Amino acid sequence: MKVSRARIMLLFASETGQAKAIAEDIYDKCLNAKLSCLLRCVSEIDNSVDLSQEPCVVLVGSTTGDGDPPETAQKFWRTLHKKDLPRDHFSRMHYTVLGLGDTNYTNFCNFGKTVDARLESLGAKRFYECGWADDGTGLEEVVEPWTEGLLQSLQKHLMNVSSDSAASEELCSASMRTNQEDANQILDNNRKEEVENNHIGVQSNSAYNHLDDKKSKIFFDDLGILENSCILNLPVVALSFSPESKLSLPVLPQPYLDISYSQEDYSDCDNLVRSPLPSATSDPVKCHIESSRVLTENDAVKTTLEITLKFPQENLLGFEPGDSFGVIAPNDAREVDLLIWLLGLEDVANKKFLLAISPSTKKKAAAIPSHIPAEASLRAAFTYCLDIRAVPKKPFIRVLVEYTSDEQQKRRLKELVSKEGMQEYGKCIRDAMVSFLDLLLLFPSCKPPVTAVLEHLPRLLPRPYSAASSSLREPGQVSFVYNLIDIPREGSIVFGRKGVCSGYLTRIGSKLSGIEMELSDQMKGLSLKEDVVYIYLRNNQSFRLPDDLKTPIIMVGPGTGVAPFVGFLQHLEAKSEQDPTLQLGESWLFFGCRHKDKDNIFKTELKEFTEKKILNQLCVCYSRDPKEAGSKYVQDNIILYGDKVSSLIVDKGAMIYVCGDAKNMAKDVLDSFATVLEKHKSFSNHEARNHLAQMQVKKKYLQDVWS
């Protein structure tokens, strides 16, 4: 295929939609700047596209799991790593990469970095430095300046390409107009400076008075929302800059959705949970709750529960120990109600809506967000499709500015979204985890149209949980272990809440677990019943028991990280019951909790596994129990038992499994394994690290870690 030399091939490799959204934003900016651009998911690169002939490639790609490429990039990844590609394969290509990752995980931005290195090794040249954005600290800190610089680099780079005389006839007419004038225009747009001359006095209660009616009182009491007088004193709503100071605002995103309503009510939820699901290897199945129990004592630091779900008879999901499931959790009905009320949508909330692209939109390549069905009700969409708890991104806040009538609130939103207010946004919105709903309560004169909300709220993602049971023991069901997340009313969070999924699972299982949890009419007006949960199987090819069960295993799982190992041990037990002659390799479990008598979850079960010799060595530590001497953390026990542990690893080829917190534990545990190899096997630090790295490559050191 002949390629225009001045065309940009903008590729994205997305797992949850973030890379796609950023690529779409870059695409819009390119088109606004009259740059010729093709936007493609890497999965769409087939034989009709010869990447090696592309003169200008921009890739926005996420890293998932343990440094893996997203699902959509598997084929692209394999093609790029073909061994027979000549060293100059991409010598015509100029490229850059924006990698998205999370420094809480090992192999930060591994996908983007590996693609960058591979392209370079095959002759491609970087026309603009790659960007590595960290979701752990806020993607926008890198994404925004990187995108701004990218546009300037593209202008320059494409002008160079276009000045190549041989290419002149191949230039697209759009890119021909890409001259300094256009470049200035974009910069003007991007850095539109506004001088605020409005007189903004001290904010008064009156800005919040209209929330003080009877209806709002019901909501406020029900959810325990902070009083308006207190909201007024929060730093998030107070002006930080002098009213005269200049603020550079980002470009206002173009609206693109139209909505109409039929007279008919909408109550069918089934099509809402069938949209493409991340990492799914099965369709969603409708499960009933078999049991729910609290595993911790009342005074434990965290409340941990186990819930068991029964698959439908006609669809027994076959799963292996180590697999995880996606739980499709709806938003809390009370929050959905509040949102509907705050947006003034009560009359139409249950009506069937029809979404369409507005014929007058100036947005290029506008499409109905794939996570919202074209036909549904607002209540259903807010319950199942949209993450109403998401921290609003800056483009959304930029839109909200336009729909805020109170001058002081408007000015404060401008501050938060401005270039000058970057730190304010980080501190008061992103780090404070302020949700869209919080924002509407903090800035009550903000009344956006529902289409803006549908355009900007991200998808409500399913939550992954490791199976904590074996399908060999109970083929028709699966158990999960989870902590009930409690988000108190503090800082800019104006009402307390439970985690979306942990709150949902606890609420629907509360009759069985006996836990005191207010039952909200979760599915109000919708067809789903309270005791039904949709789940699907996620792909996981590596966190599995060894093929040869004689291989020794070392499991490390503090807290709820023990969940998959309960599944492992049940599985081994069932296997040896099926075949009493079966020889099992030595098995060790390092478990840690805070107090011996409060959160020592699965104490009885693990003791039984030990007595039955399914588990050969159980090492438990208590991190906050002054009565208990001994190790504090699992890694201390690994070092304590270093002699045997190192022998299992080096002499007996043990597999290592680590599950739990990604932020600190996983790194500390890796360090402790390196320490024991140094101490007991006389490895140098470099040799020890190299040994463990090789085990990771060979999938003998496996991690299932979450932040």
Element (H, E) at 144: helix 140-163
Nearer to ligand NAP, 108 or 382 (CB): 108
Nearer to ligand NAP, 439 or 478 (CB): 478
Q: How far is the CB of 563 from ligand NAP (least distance, A)?
A: 4
Q: Do residues 107 and 66 lie in contact, with contact meaning Cβ atoms separated by under 8 Å?
A: yes
Q: How far is the CB of 665 from ligand NAP (least distance, A)?
A: 4
Question: Residue 225 interacts with ligand NAP (CB under 6 A)?
Answer: no
Question: What would the x/- binding string for ligand NAP be over residues 472 to 501, using CB under 6 A?
Answer: --------xxxx------------------
Nearer to ligand NAP, 402 or 671 (CB): 671
Question: Residue 61 interacts with ligand NAP (CB under 6 A)?
Answer: no
Nearer to ligand NAP, 27 or 536 (CB): 536
Q: How far is the CB of 282 from ligand NAP (least distance, A)?
A: 18
Q: How far is the CB of 421 from ligand NAP (least distance, A)?
A: 32
Q: How far is the CB of 623 from ligand NAP (least distance, A)?
A: 3
Question: What would the x/- binding string for ligand NAP be over residues 554 to 583, using CB under 6 A?
Answer: ----xxxx-x--------------------
Which residue matches tokens 């049940």?
Answer: 570
3-class DSSP state of 107: coil
Nearer to ligand NAP, 73 or 666 (CB): 666
| Choices 50-58, 146-154, 540-548, 630-638 (CB under 6 A): range interacting with ligand NAP | 630-638
What does residue 86 show for φ and ψ, rounded to 5 degrees? -65, 155
Question: Residue 321 interacts with ligand NAP (CB under 6 A)?
Answer: no
Name the β-bridge partners of 248.
193
| Choices 135-143, 261-269, 628-636, 645-653 (CB under 6 A): range interacting with ligand NAP | 628-636
> Which of 277, 660, 676, 695 is the binder for ligand NAP (CB under 6 A)?
660
Provide the angle, in degrees to the nearest 10, between the axes of the packed helices 18-32 and 140-163: 40
Question: Residue 592 interacts with ligand NAP (CB under 6 A)?
Answer: yes
Q: How far is the CB of 324 from ligand NAP (least distance, A)?
A: 7
CB atoms within 10 A of CB 636: 18
CA dist 527 and 268 (Å) reads: 6
- Tokens for 407? 């001058």
Nearer to ligand NAP, 65 or 559 (CB): 559
CB atoms within 10 A of CB 650: 15
Q: Where are the beta strands (DSSP E) in 609-669?
A: 617-622, 655-661
Question: Residue 634 interacts with ligand NAP (CB under 6 A)?
Answer: yes
3-class DSSP state of 154: helix
CA dist 381 and 526 (Å) reads: 11
Element (H, E) at 646: helix 642-650
- Burial class (CB within 10 angstroms; exposed 0-12, middle 13-18, buried 19+) of 447: middle
Nearer to ligand NAP, 325 or 609 (CB): 325
Q: How far is the CB of 661 from ligand NAP (least distance, A)?
A: 4
Question: Residue 295 interacts with ligand NAP (CB under 6 A)?
Answer: no
Q: How far is the CB of 267 from ligand NAP (least distance, A)?
A: 32
CA dist 381 and 454 (Å) reads: 9
3-class DSSP state of 11: strand
Nearer to ligand NAP, 345 or 621 (CB): 621
Nearer to ligand NAP, 454 or 553 (CB): 553
Size of the site for ligand NAP (CB under 6 A): 28
> Which of 594, 598, 657, 688 is the binder for ligand NAP (CB under 6 A)?
594
Eight-class DSSP state of 149: H
CA dist 684 and 657 (Å) reads: 23
Q: How far is the CB of 474 from ligand NAP (least distance, A)?
A: 17
CB atoms within 10 A of CB 79: 12
Q: How far is the CB of 617 from ligand NAP (least distance, A)?
A: 18
Nearer to ligand NAP, 284 or 561 (CB): 561
- Pairing mode, if any, of strands 8-13 and 324-328? unpaired
Residue 128's identity, in one-letter code, is Y
Nearer to ligand NAP, 66 or 661 (CB): 661
Provide the angle, in degrees to the nearest 10, between the axes of the packed helices 563-578 and 603-611: 30
Nearer to ligand NAP, 220 or 565 (CB): 565
CB atoms within 10 A of CB 103: 15
Nearest Cα to 294, choosing from 552, 425, 481, 133? 481
Please give the residues from 435 up to 474 whose contact with ligand NAP meets the rule CB under 6 A: 465-466
Please give the residues from 665 up to 694 whose contact with ligand NAP meets the rule CB under 6 A: 665, 668
| Choices 224-232, 289-297, 340-348, 588-596 (CB under 6 A): range interacting with ligand NAP | 588-596
**Residue at shortest CB range from ligand NAP:** 559
> Which of 664, 684, 685, 694 is the binder for ligand NAP (CB under 6 A)?
664
Question: Residue 661 interacts with ligand NAP (CB under 6 A)?
Answer: yes
Question: Residue 657 interacts with ligand NAP (CB under 6 A)?
Answer: no
Say which residues have a Cβ less than 8 Å from residue 277's Cβ, sequence separation at least 6: 284, 326, 328, 462, 536
Q: How far is the CB of 508 from ligand NAP (least distance, A)?
A: 17
Nearest Cα to 457, choosing from 521, 388, 403, 523? 388
Say which residues have a Cβ less than 8 Å from residue 319's Cβ, sequence separation at least 6: 325, 467, 471, 478, 537
User: Any idea how long the chain is?
Assistant: 707
> Which of 247, 285, 572, 659 is the binder for ligand NAP (CB under 6 A)?
659
Nearer to ligand NAP, 430 or 595 (CB): 595
Nearer to ligand NAP, 348 or 505 (CB): 505
Nearer to ligand NAP, 401 or 645 (CB): 645
- Tell me the CA distances in angstroms from 277 to 80, 516, 583, 644, one per residue in order: 26, 32, 39, 43
Which residue matches tokens 């930060």?
Answer: 108
Q: Do residues 415 and 363 lie in contact, with contact meaning Cβ atoms separated by under 8 Å?
A: no
Q: How far is CA 570 from the centre of its chain?
A: 30
Which residues contact ligand NAP by CB under 6 A? 302, 465-466, 480-483, 558-561, 563, 592-594, 623-624, 633-635, 659-661, 664-665, 668, 704, 706
